Amino acid sequence: MSECELVVRGGTVVTGVDSFRADIGISGGRIVALAERLQGVTMIEAGGLLVLPGGVDSHCHIEQLQDNGGADEETWESGSTSALAGGTTTAITFSTQFKGRPIRDSLAEYRGRAARAMIDYSFHQIITDPTDAVIRDEIPEIVASGVRSLKVFLTYDPLRLDDRQYLRVLAAARRTGALVTVHCENYDAIKWRTEALLAAGHTSPKYHPWSRPRIVEREATYRAVALAELVDQPIQVFHVSCPEAAEEIARARARGVKVWGETCPQYVVLGADDMDRPGFEGAKFMCSPSPRDAPTREALWAEIARGVLDVVSSDHSGWSFEGARGKRTNGAEATFRDIPNGVPGLAARLPILFSEGVGKGRITLNEFVRLTATNAAKLFGLYPRKGSIAIGADADLVLWDPTRQVTITQALMQHAIDYTPYEGMQVTGWPVSVLRRGEVVMRDGTIQAPPGSGQFLARAPYDMIRPTGRMPDGFDASAFLA
Ligand code: URP
Ligand code: ZN
Ligand code: ZN
């Protein structure tokens, strides 16, 4: 065959199903050959290293627009830098609907900001106000533009939808061929417990998990899945924190419902006890659902290993610890109810999952690739372009040293947030360099991609999220209510 523009030579190629020694030939930004002894104009040595598909982070918040006209502190430049530092080359982030404003306007503004990305990207559209016009006109329009997934919240003011609103979004997604992703916690139960905790004087970050015990997540997961079953609309349950929620997903799957589960590094390595650190320190670990206890973390690993939770994303969220814009935005004495939720984790995602998962024998190397890249690419319609190492795929590659021992520090994360909840954590396994569409964009932690070199990934219809055709009484209510 003709000489490739670039060859990655001598590494162990790891996909979601195989591991094998091969050179990777790249031309025009794509993989064109997998063979022995390839020749390229440029050669990159990967001897002793694993060569993984670039990470696909299908749930992270980058420069997300806020209703006050501002945006998250994590910009597309800093977020891309952090992603590349940790081996992630593709991200799906969030465009928000603001009540009373056309979705297309905020989506256009968001796309404008994302034009400075250095990673490839797509969006989930958050639906907060499913008016008739949104259901009838706006959702079809944005899905047709390639934003083929919607996000809904069953809790959080002012984002949350009630059950009827959620049903209407499910039906709109079914009609237009989009996946619905769901934040599953019971709004009223959390509110009720929060009021009681505050009345009892339990205001510190430690009480955040008390306000949302696991049953609150199980109930909302069951309801989200049951209503999706009613409509026959596929969903993904975001950030599962406990085996009770995973159990609801597994039970639904067993009866043929198309539902997938995601978890995040914070739920397998952080704990509720982290929120009990002195002073305000616990706020650094506060996200929703809450990190739980050690037995719950082990149970989640088991759900990962048995495939119920088949995507591990970061849910990277842009709140600093110091300064007025972040965790202290409502003051240094804010109660747990008024502290912004979310933790940063774009760069830490792969190293933590590799070290704690593969390194400790909880998952295999191929499972690691599926969890961090392949499954998300498939579920969100990016596969086979993203998420694998195969002929024709984008040459998004991570050269990974499985033996390198690293202590995670804030400096290594390269994000705009001023802390990492994983500070001081020892990991084994680290990305040495990253290629994005055949270009070296990270080498030894130095980012070499110019702002604006990332590409928007418009997502076309795909089979994986096709409805099953099974509905109660065979009656498709979504076809009659737009
Ligand atoms: O606490 C979290 N997870 N914050 C980010 C927003 C969300 O709920 O995904
Ligand atoms: Zn959420
Ligand atoms: Zn999130």
Contacts of 62 (CB under 8 A, 6+ apart): 72, 74, 75, 76, 79, 80, 91, 93, 114, 316, 318
3-state DSSP assignment of residue 82: helix
Phi and psi at residue 183, to the nearest 5°: -90, 115
CB atoms within 5 A of ion ligand 3 belong to: 315
The whole-number average pLDDT for the span 150-165 is 96
**Is the preceding omega at residue 289 within 30 degrees of 0, hence cis?**
yes
User: Confidence class of residue 324 from pLDDT cuts 50, 70 and 90?
Assistant: confident
Ligand 1 binding pocket includes 315 (Cβ within 6 Å): yes
Range from 282-296, 324-338, 467-481 that averages highest in pLDDT: 282-296
Provide the pLDDT for residue 414. Answer: 98
Centroid of ligand 3 to alpha carbon of 38 (angstroms) = 42
Task: Give the mean pLDDT of 102-127.
Answer: 97
Confidence of residue 1 (pLDDT cuts 50, 70, 90): low
Closest atom, ligand 1, to C-alpha of 156: 8
* Amino acid type, 111: R
What percent of the chain is predicted at pLDDT more than 90?
97
Name the percent of the chain in helix, strand, coil, to the closest 5.
Answer: 35, 25, 45
Whether 350 shows a pLDDT value over 90: the answer reads: yes
Give yes or no for a cis peptide into 451 (omega within 30° of 0).
no
Specify whether the CB–CB gap between 153 and 190 falls below 8 A: no
Q: Supply the pLDDT for residue 68.
A: 86
Taken in order of first residue, the domains within the chain and their CATH numbers are 54-381 (3.20.20.140)
Q: If you ran DSSP here, which 8-state letter would residue 430 be given?
A: E
Q: Evaluate: CB of 341 within 6 angstroms of ligand 1.
A: yes
CA 179 centroid distance within chain: 14
The single-letter code of the amino acid at 382 is L
Cβ–Cβ under 8 Å, residues 27 and 1: no
Across the range 212-233, mean pLDDT stands at: 98
Closest-lying ligand to the alpha carbon of 238?
2
pLDDT score recorded for residue 318: 82
| pLDDT tens-digit series, residues 35-82 | 999 999 999 999 999 999 999 999 999 999 998 889 999 999 999 999
Average pLDDT on 220-227 reads 98
160, 187 in Cβ contact below 8 A? Answer: yes
Distance 212 CA to ligand 3 centre (A): 16
Residue 353 has pLDDT above 90, yes or no: yes
State the distance from the centre of ligand 2 to the C-alpha of 183, rounded, in angstroms: 4
Average pLDDT over every residue of 469-481: 92
Quick one: pLDDT at residue 221?
Answer: 98
Phi-psi bin for 327: left (phi > 0), alpha (psi -120 to 50), beta? alpha
Overall average pLDDT of the 134-147 stretch: 98
Residues 201, 203: Cα–Cα separation, whole Å: 6
- What spacing in Å lies between the alpha carbon of 14 and ligand 1's midpoint? 31
Averaged pLDDT, 289-293: 98
Residues at Cβ < 5 Å from ligand 2 ion = 183, 238
Task: Return the closest-CA partner of residue 282 out of 328, 240, 238, 324.
Answer: 328
Q: Is the pTM of this model over 0.95?
A: yes
Q: What is the DSSP track for 130-199?
A: --HHIIIIIHHHHHHTT--EEEEESSSTTT---HHHHHHHHHHHHHHT-EEEEE---HHHHHHHHHHHHH
List, for residues 381-432, the tens digit of each pLDDT value: 999 999 999 999 999 999 999 999 999 999 999 999 999 999 999 999 999 9
Q: How far is the CA of 62 from the centre of ligand 3 (A)?
A: 10
pLDDT at 445 over 70: yes
Bridge partners of 448, per DSSP, are none
222: left (phi over 0), alpha (psi -120 to 50) or beta: alpha
